[in-house]
A and B are shown apart, each in its own frame.
Chain A
């Protein structure tokens, strides 16, 4: 019985999400407030979107450490094209996605086709992309984006007049829902998802099963780059600023969502729904602890918490998988 419940990782995670919500709702004033939660959720869009391709990459036993730098670079390019080159904002946004795609393709080609471990490649490109962003902008933030663009992250859909003012659904949630849905279909329904699991399970056997493992992996890193480009649009719109030193440490929050969601860091199994729950847990923890204003745990120390959580759940995932393997 216990095994059955534990096997349904997603169900267990849903319970954790509910429990966490209940605890915060009762103990922290201002947590269970529709307006607050909506405003807070705007900050979860970027890590959430990127966590979807990251889930797929980690399922192949890979990793992408350069996502934060890609977001910064794409945002910077967007800002510079808009301000200095006077491009229309839509065109600049498209360029940002293209930049992301090229960065991701670089990661993919070097790691898959030259056979260099992705952690080394993306560690190097993490510095490289950040350096390009810093150099291009000379670390000067770009501001002055049009209202229509800012609406992407700051606006609401279906606004209704509530008791305490207008209440609506944050517009960028649509992008997150779309990304998760797409990721879920790929992972659970398509042959591509199966191939991804096969590669993480046993890459040699995948090659012997006539799967073009290098193309699949390369494609995943490229897609991750493109999604970082998309996320950069929302990121820039949210802060109405394009900065080169933004999104530092984003890779850790993204990986935290994936790992807390139950995807094993050593590959073979991945769950996009789990990652969504992981995002909710990390997001609520951050927001709740922030609102609670715990003395010894200032807002900047949340990272300690997230870091510890990653390690603990990564260990838990591995042990769980091994324990299950032993008991079959």
Chain B
């Protein structure tokens, strides 16, 4: 192995004109642990994303073991041995832990290419053992604690025998014990010749584990030096670029009566427990803790975004336990959120609209905004916050991060709040803006606002706060005086002790019986059985007969086939409501070919290819325009139905040749032929979804697009794939439909999309994507046909049919959502 493993030279990258990295050159050597430090926004994440193929550099080159490479996506990087463990690991919540660990590369497959689940689970369990963890790898990943998620990711990354391993803030949620274990792992790996890049805010850890350290500041490389030659102070001053004393300009202001009092607050979702503290007017209370400690959750609960199960919140002695953000604002509490882009600003709107949102109703008379008053307020906010913008009408997206943050802050500052909660107010802003935000915080304190400053930047908390609360594992572990107690005491109090991880440990392996009960398929079979028995008792002569049973089967068959395709599309996070019209159009074309003398196999081929083409047009259009497939396929309903009328000149197609009809009509061993087709399709789709990489990737995409991007899944390719499969099934169903019924009419296939979607959601497909089952869908289709049959036997007019399809879809989806909520609350 070459001495230098991965070499980045002259890398530059900017986002929307704002440079994130400029001319950065680093070499990560084999067998070395390389520390990468810098403030938030210094460019560490961008660097990692470039080195791991998630982003492409604007300039510069990457060499791996001496060879220049271009990384096309994350999967490409993984293939070349570049592994990464992300800070806030994005995962696929509805997939098992084992699959989350191994999906990118390590699913065990037989020679046939099919996934071998028992071996995969064994492998995952073994990997967990190696990092000293043991828990049920079959459980879904959604319920994992942050620490365990991190350990699972590390275990997975190690398993690929990487050449380079990036660890992004791996210890931020770990307890002391876990950190020790992790360090042992890291040393073993680096002894084995792996290049490790260790990114962390915790400088003591960096100095302990790393051989060399690189400091980034404002997108530039400041220095790369051996760790043995560095001290903490040197690193800090290299990171911030000036002495700390100049950084934070805290003004002493008089502190008056208690404004905010929190007593025994406990979150309903368990994010924090028994939190009590008080903040006085003019006081800045710092809140420090690691990722996942519950800091933001406390702030959001005070603002009414999360529910409290116990405890009280008092402002000026009045009970204001806020039930909604509006209540909170009315009682004088304001909250500036942590994630500016996601929670803070409206990207498509002007600075003016963003600045005045909190006061909009006060600026209005009779519901109408008084525009002169709005302009005046927006101007005042921009002036006071010193937002650098050419005019208040400028779109906020064109401002720098720091100026956007000032607008998000100013939006609340102008409501003159009694209590202001600031969640990471200086994350990702430049140093100049940071100083101004600190000045504004002091200004507000001076006016008598009680301020809760949540931050994960220890120097900021220490310098700005009058008192500091340390939070760990959802509890307050200490209330300290920064001047007297010092940094070390605060940092120590915030370190997790690992108690929560034990509490949240996944349950032991569930009993077989319990696992079976969780299977939707068995529930469906049970329901079908109960309904059948009931009907047999009520109407034995009419219901429990062989002809009636066969009738139900053949009514269920074709919707079930279309439903398998619909299920796949829904699993990937899409929907296609044009399949009914498509079936009509394709069926008409195939039938016309048949009457014109084409042999049956040619008709079938024609229909399947036509179905694939139409379906690909749907998918392609929605991908190309980046609009939801619903709008394309809604138009498709009319377009395909209209085309069908053009093609057939509005005539029924009858008198199909016998050879064509024989494809579908008739029985084998007393059971209608079409049932065999459907069973075959179900088996194939089941194999595809459960045992092939493509199927698992489709589910992963439906689970989380962003996590998918991190492991290099191509949304376009997977979407086209599921639509193509669905189109092929529609084509097949169209031919069988014509063959079975012997004709194609103007309304052939109408309502098929509803039956298909109903079958899929009843069968346990999550309408939001990421979960689905082929056998479940088959049972769902059977249940729909059975219910129709029951309605007919009960002499209920067929005009009510639509009501039942609609109610079935709605009911299944609502039940699914409620069940998920229940499960979520239970774990």
Whether the Cβ atoms of A300 and B645 lie closer than 8 Å is yes
Interface centre among B358, B369, B395, by most chain A C-beta atoms within 10 angstroms, is B369
In the complex where A131-B805, A194-B353, A210-B358 touch, is A65 in contact with B634 (Cβ < 8 A)?
A: yes
Contact of A130 among B639, B646, B802, B813 (CB under 8 A): B802
* Majority secondary structure, B binding face: helix
A251 neighbours in B (Cβ, 8 Å):
634
B398 neighbours in A (Cβ, 8 Å):
328
Whether the Cβ atoms of B799 and A138 lie closer than 8 Å is yes
A205 neighbours in B (Cβ, 8 Å):
337, 342-346
Whether the Cβ atoms of B344 and A249 lie closer than 8 Å is no
A126 neighbours in B (Cβ, 8 Å):
806
Taking CB atoms and an 8 Å cut-off, the chain A residues in 88-143 that contact chain B are 110, 114-117, 119-121, 123-132, 134-135, 137-139
A296 neighbours in B (Cβ, 8 Å):
646
Whether the Cβ atoms of A127 and B754 lie closer than 8 Å is yes
Taking CB atoms and an 8 Å cut-off, the chain B residues in 775-827 that contact chain A are 797, 799-807, 809-810, 813-814, 817-818
A91 to B115, CA, bound (A): 65
In the complex where A123-B577, A130-B802 touch, is A210 in contact with B326 (Cβ < 8 A)?
A: yes
Whether the Cβ atoms of A191 and B361 lie closer than 8 Å is yes
The answer, yes or no, to whether A289 is at the interface (CB within 8 Å) is no
A110 neighbours in B (Cβ, 8 Å):
810, 814
B681 neighbours in A (Cβ, 8 Å):
none
Kindly supply a per-residue 1/0 record for chain A positions 307-328, scoring 1 wherever the CB is within 8 Å of any chain B CB and 0 otherwise: 1101100110011000001001
Whether the Cβ atoms of B803 and A135 lie closer than 8 Å is yes
The answer, yes or no, to whether B621 is at the interface (CB within 8 Å) is yes
A210 neighbours in B (Cβ, 8 Å):
324-326, 328-329, 358
Binds A, one of B60-68, B522-530, B623-631: B623-631
The answer, yes or no, to whether A6 is at the interface (CB within 8 Å) is no
A310 neighbours in B (Cβ, 8 Å):
631, 634-635
Whether the Cβ atoms of B346 and A115 lie closer than 8 Å is no
Taking CB atoms and an 8 Å cut-off, the chain B residues in 385-403 that contact chain A are 395, 397-398
Whether the Cβ atoms of A127 and B642 lie closer than 8 Å is no
A117 to B810, CA, bound (A): 11
The answer, yes or no, to whether B637 is at the interface (CB within 8 Å) is yes
The answer, yes or no, to whether B364 is at the interface (CB within 8 Å) is yes
Kindly supply a per-residue 1/0 record for chain B positions 302-344, scoring 1 wherever the CB is within 8 Å of any chain A CB and 0 otherwise: 0001000000000000000000111011000001010000111
A251 to B633, CA, bound (A): 13
Query: What is the size category of the interface that chain A forms with chain B?
Result: 35 or more
The answer, yes or no, to whether B757 is at the interface (CB within 8 Å) is yes
B684 neighbours in A (Cβ, 8 Å):
none
Residue of B nearest to A106 (CB): B810
A204 neighbours in B (Cβ, 8 Å):
342-343
Residue of B nearest to A266 (CB): B627
Residue of A nearest to B411 (CB): A209
Taking CB atoms and an 8 Å cut-off, the chain B residues in 231-258 that contact chain A are none
A65 neighbours in B (Cβ, 8 Å):
634
Whether the Cβ atoms of B625 and A208 lie closer than 8 Å is no
A202 to B754, CA, bound (A): 31
Taking CB atoms and an 8 Å cut-off, the chain A residues in 23-48 that contact chain B are none
A124 neighbours in B (Cβ, 8 Å):
806-807, 809-810, 813
Residue of A nearest to B329 (CB): A210
Whether the Cβ atoms of B627 and A304 lie closer than 8 Å is no
Nearest CB of B to A64, in Å: 12
Nearest CB of A to B351, in Å: 13
The answer, yes or no, to whether A252 is at the interface (CB within 8 Å) is yes
Residue of B nearest to A190 (CB): B367
The answer, yes or no, to whether A18 is at the interface (CB within 8 Å) is no
In the complex where A210-B326, A255-B634, A301-B645 touch, is A131 in contact with B801 (Cβ < 8 A)?
A: yes
Residue of B nearest to A214 (CB): B324
Whether the Cβ atoms of B346 and A202 lie closer than 8 Å is yes
In the complex where A128-B807, A131-B801, A201-B349 touch, is A208 in contact with B337 (Cβ < 8 A)?
A: yes
A82 to B66, CA, bound (A): 85
A252 to B578, CA, bound (A): 13
Whether the Cβ atoms of B806 and A249 lie closer than 8 Å is no
Nearest CB of A to B559, in Å: 14
B768 neighbours in A (Cβ, 8 Å):
117
In the complex where A127-B805, A191-B367 touch, is A114 in contact with B814 (Cβ < 8 A)?
A: yes
The answer, yes or no, to whether A293 is at the interface (CB within 8 Å) is no
Contact of B627 among A119, A303, A314 (CB under 8 A): A314
Whether the Cβ atoms of A191 and B364 lie closer than 8 Å is yes
Whether the Cβ atoms of B754 and A306 lie closer than 8 Å is no
Kindly supply a per-residue 1/0 record for chain A positions 2-36, scoring 1 wherever the CB is within 8 Å of any chain B CB and 0 otherwise: 00000000000000000000000000000000000
Whether the Cβ atoms of B348 and A269 lie closer than 8 Å is yes
A265 to B634, CA, bound (A): 13
Residue of B nearest to A65 (CB): B634
The answer, yes or no, to whether B501 is at the interface (CB within 8 Å) is no
Whether the Cβ atoms of B305 and A265 lie closer than 8 Å is no
Whether the Cβ atoms of A127 and B799 lie closer than 8 Å is no
A306 to B809, CA, bound (A): 28
Whether the Cβ atoms of B326 and A212 lie closer than 8 Å is yes
Whether the Cβ atoms of B369 and A131 lie closer than 8 Å is no
Residue of A nearest to B346 (CB): A201
Can you list 26 A-B contacts (CB < 8 A)? A63-B631, A124-B806, A127-B802, A128-B803, A131-B799, A131-B803, A131-B805, A132-B803, A134-B802, A138-B799, A189-B368, A191-B367, A191-B368, A194-B360, A205-B344, A206-B346, A208-B325, A211-B357, A266-B626, A266-B627, A300-B642, A310-B635, A311-B632, A315-B624, A319-B625, A328-B398
The 5 closest A-B pairs by CB, nearest first: A131-B803, A128-B806, A131-B802, A127-B806, A304-B642
9 more CB-based (< 8 A) A-B contacts, given A115-B817, A120-B767, A198-B357: A114-B817, A120-B575, A120-B813, A128-B807, A139-B799, A205-B346, A251-B634, A265-B628, A307-B636
Report A's interface with B, CB cutoff 8 A: 63, 65, 110, 114-117, 119-121, 123-132, 134-135, 137-139, 185, 189-192, 194-195, 197-198, 201-202, 204-212, 244, 249, 251-252, 255, 259, 265-266, 268-269, 296, 300-301, 303-304, 306-308, 310-311, 314-315, 318-319, 325, 328
